[in-house]
Amino acid sequence: MNLFPDNPNQKNIIELQGVSQSYDGGNNWIIDKLDFIIEDKPDQGQFVVILGMSGSGKSTILRYIAGLQEPTLGTVKVRGKKVDESQRISMVFQQYSSLPWMTVLENVGLALKFQGVSKDERNEKAMELIRLVGLEGHEYKYAQYPTLSGGQLQRVAIARSLLASPKILLMDEPFGALDIKTRLSMQDLLTNIWHQFQSTIVFVTHDISEAVYLADDIYIMKSQPSKFVEHIHIDLPLERDRSIKRNPQYVSLVHKVEDRMVAVSEMK
């Protein structure tokens, strides 16, 4: 079943080919011969959501793309080049990843500091992102709980990632620890960011309704040995707000994804 046919007329922004992962010298394969292609869509970007059972390797896929882990076999390319230290992609985790001894402003501008950008320039660029994610007025607070709420700390992480790599954003269950009101607000923020930056966003979640609301494509992984077995295109308008969750088409898509998740969970 080829979920990812090559399109010779369209470049791929992310490409995993024949990726396999073993932690015991090849006796057992956690991920087996996995292929995953995300095509580049200029002037639009993509919002790709990965679903699967716990332990199916969703977070590992993000780590490959981010350059935080190498597969045992296979190749991982971003923008046509093998991922290495020169082009690592920022990632937003469920756990708060800000450096608590640094201010919001310092955290957001961290990648530019490593690139040797002057303090004035990186602060100016960081403030643009801080305003975008709704943290203006908090820039000189330390990025730690309870000085900032959980939602605010995730906004810091999103702003930092956007400043480091605005065209690709990797997110590993970033809203999983947030209360429902904050989570809904963060979903709306993320859709706005997607359209403003026209980014390629790869997002891992266990929340099916969240996946359908955010994604234009959903890929489902089966458990070990893991690989992608389902691709569901979300046929909803790209411009969305919360009212779409009352739309019968949205409800039908949630049920469709739920049914496919149950079927995939029973695969051997």
Between CA 57 and CA 150 the distance in angstroms is 26
The structure's pTM equals 0.89
Side by side, which strands form the sheet with 168-172?
A: 91-92, 168-172, 200-204, 46-52, 217-222, 227-233
Q: Which of 81-90, 140-149, 171-180, 207-216 has the lowest mean pLDDT?
A: 81-90
Mean pLDDT, all residues of the chain:
88
pLDDT average, residue stretch 12-19: 93
Q: In this predicted model, which residue has the larger pLDDT, 239 or 10?
A: 239
Mean pLDDT throughout 139-153?
91
pLDDT above 70 for 7: no
Residue 245 vs residues 66, 202, 209, 210: alpha-carbon distances, Å: 32, 21, 9, 10
145 vs 152: CA distance, rounded Å: 9
CB 217 within 8 A of CB 233: yes
* Residue 59 in tokens: 């977070």
Strand order in the sheet with 12-21: 31-39, 12-21, 73-78, 81-82
**How large a percentage of the chain has pLDDT more than 70?**
94
Fold of 12-89+165-265: Rossmann fold (3.40.50)
Residue 3: predicted pLDDT = 54
pLDDT score at 49: 97
Question: Which pLDDT score is estimated for 256?
Answer: 96
pLDDT digits (tens, 9 = 90+) for 78-128: 988 887 765 668 888 877 778 889 999 999 998 888 888 888 999 999 999
Predicted confidence (pLDDT) per residue in 154-196, tens digit = 899 999 988 888 889 999 998 888 889 989 999 999 998 888 8
**Is the predicted pLDDT of residue 8 greater than 60, yes or no?**
no
